[in-house]
Amino acid sequence: MKTKSIILFKIILIISLPIFLLFSSLHIAINDLNFFEHKYEEYNVTEVTGISLQGLMEVTKELLDYLKGERDDILIYKEINGQTREVFREREVLHLKDVELLFEKSYLVRNISIILSLIAVIYLYLYDKKALYKGLIYSALISISGMILLAVIISTNFNTSFNIFHEILFTNDLWLLDPKTEVLIQMYPLNFFKSIALRIFIYFITGLILSLSLGIFMRCKINGCSFRSKKL
């Protein structure tokens, strides 16, 4: 019975830890205001939107608050090309509602995954430290391999991957915005998503490498550091 429990918690760790690291990487990347400011300058978003850099940063803060559930609506007024008006039109607002729901689910999944990971880590640490370091190592190696493969696939045609990603996540076509008239797509062109996807990838891989390093360190403490004659 104890052996089955150890296997179960090992599987839970292998699955839940990468999920936690992935969504944490997403949330860290999304909430980095310096990144947004740098990209607005890089992509000349002030000229494209007609909104000042200060105005763009204010919109960004309010948008992030909305996605985190810290405000009830996304009705924002700013000076655009010399005239004060609502930043996001009806179609953009409806799309952002869909995005906000996804973010709400992402925070829930992240919280559940960290709880499961902690429970699994504590249980395995108490009853089978070898299973713990194996879980950490396998979890990291499987996820790193999967992410590298996914990165190669996405990088070959980011535009197609971007469209497929949206078609999977959304049940409508509200995400298809007009870059000539709608500020949301002007603020976040395709290159912005390429940049933030790379940032999420780097954060996620870094977390996995730290997890892998911890697993290897534990293995060395328990079995010694020779990898020639002993299996993981």
How would residue 173 be classed by pLDDT, with cut points 50, 70 and 90? very high
With 70 as the cut, is the pLDDT of residue 230 above it? no
**pLDDT tens digits, residue range 129-145?**
999 999 999 999 999 99
With 90 as the cut, is the pLDDT of residue 90 above it? yes
**Helix/strand/coil (H/E/C) assignment for every residue in the chain:** CHHHHHHHHHHHHHHHHHHHHHHHHHHHHHCCHHHHHHHHHHCCHHHHHCCCHHHHHHHHHHHHHHHCCCCCCCCCEEEECCEEEECCCHHHHHHHHHHHHHHHHHHHHHHHHHHHHHHHHHHHHHHCHHHHHHHHHHHHHHHHHHHHHHHHHHHHCHHHHHHHHHHHHCCCCCCCCCCCCCHHHHHCCHHHHHHHHHHHHHHHHHHHHHHHHHHHHHHHHHHCCCCCCCCC
Percentage of the chain beyond pLDDT 90 is: 90
How would residue 224 be classed by pLDDT, with cut points 50, 70 and 90? confident
Mean pLDDT of 81-92: 94
pTM, two decimal places: 0.91
State phi, psi for 77 to the nearest 5 degrees.
Answer: -115, 130
**pLDDT tens digits, residue range 177-193?**
999 999 999 999 999 99
Token readout for 76 is 């924002």
With 80 as the cut, is the pLDDT of residue 231 above it? no
pLDDT of residue 223: 85
With 80 as the cut, is the pLDDT of residue 229 above it? no
Identify whether the C-beta of residue 19 lies closer than 8 Å to the C-beta of residue 109: yes
Mean pLDDT of 83-103: 95
**pLDDT tens digits, residue range 48-58?**
999 999 999 99
Percentage of the chain beyond pLDDT 70 is: 97
